Structure 1
Amino acid sequence: MLKSVKVRDYMTTNLVVFHPDTDLFVAIDRLLKNSISGAPVTDAKGQLVGLLSEVDCLKSILSGSYYDYESLGGVVSEYMATNVDVVEADQDILSVSERFIKERRRRFPVVEQGRLIGQISRKDVLRAVKDFVSPDQFVHKLA
């Protein structure tokens, strides 16, 4: 039954998104304020062009601190990952679950014709499972 559930049914659509020209320290501030570990980067047309993670931010700060504090910072495009693994909105949720396990990912950007439309996380998949297990069965399992 879960095989017929699509990513679009459980993905998050209200995302923090950066643009390539976003100042790195503005991006870091938004990551911290939203308590997230990374965010997609899109161009002006909404096409996914990269992903900026906490690790990318740390690498930029570390490399800048070795050379000169004046060189710290820059823009997101200088530090973001450009080879981003994505899923399609119409993929079934079980195939995405397999990828979470195999690729050890926490979340995937969801695209439709290259355009970012959301994000699916492991928690979203667990929410789908909970929705398809009868309430009695779920409560019984918790007891």
Structure 2
Amino acid sequence: MVKSFQGVRVVEPKKAAAPILVMDHMSTNLVTFRPEDSIDHVLDLLTKKKISGAPVLDSKGTLVGIISEVDCLKEIIKGKYSNTPTFPGTVAEHMTKNVMTLTPDLSLFDAAQKFLDNKIRRFPVMKDGKLVGQLSLSDVIRAFPKLKSTTW
């Protein structure tokens, strides 16, 4: 009869999965606008860059709003009724001023919940009062198929 002795087994604790953070999936090379920019300029740049909106910064670089395609529709409708083929309205007239932001160290799952709760398409990402990026709904959707089920 053969006896086997393996000794005391040490069970290594499972490593905690690294959190999936906003900073890992946000866009950092941003198109931005100024409050005094015209809607014509915004529409032109949104179309060229194939984006649907962007942060608005004042001359000091402080976030003062967000302008989106939906905001630009207001000026387009106004142009239709006044029969003007250009859209001279300014970003300041049409931008969303009460902007909700995220921090770069927020979990991507918490960010996803904020998208659901607030029904908006983009969040500026702020760190120490400075704009450091933007997380769009598309960024979140693109991130999840890349993750392995073991990281959830």
**Distance in 2 between the 1:104 and 1:70 partners?**
32
Q: Does 1:8 align with 2:31?
A: no
1:47 aligns with 2:62: yes
User: How big is the alpha-carbon RMSD for the aligned residues of Structure 1 and Structure 2?
Assistant: 2.5
Instruction: Return the TM-score normalized by structure 2.
Output: 0.75
The structure whose Rg is larger is: 2
CA contact under 8 A between 1:65 and 1:72: conserved in structure 2?
A: no
- Post-superposition offset of 1:36: 1.3
TM-score, normalised to structure 1, is 0.79
Q: Secondary structure at the match of 1:116?
A: strand
Question: Gaps spanning 5+ residues in structure 1: where?
Answer: 138-143
Which ranges in structure 2 are unaligned for 5 or more consecutive residues? 1-15
Q: Distance in 2 between matches of 1:25 and 1:2?
A: 47
Give deviations 1:36-60, integer Å, cap 9, x for gaps: 1111111123221111111211101
Q: Name segments (4+ residues, structure 1) moved above 6 Å.
A: none
Q: CA deviation at 1:25?
A: 0.7
Give the structure with the higher percent helix. Answer: 1
> Superposition pairs for residues 1-143 of structure 1, below 5 Å?
4-67=19-82, 69=84, 72-133=87-148
Alpha-carbon distance in 1 for matches of 2:44, 2:25: 28
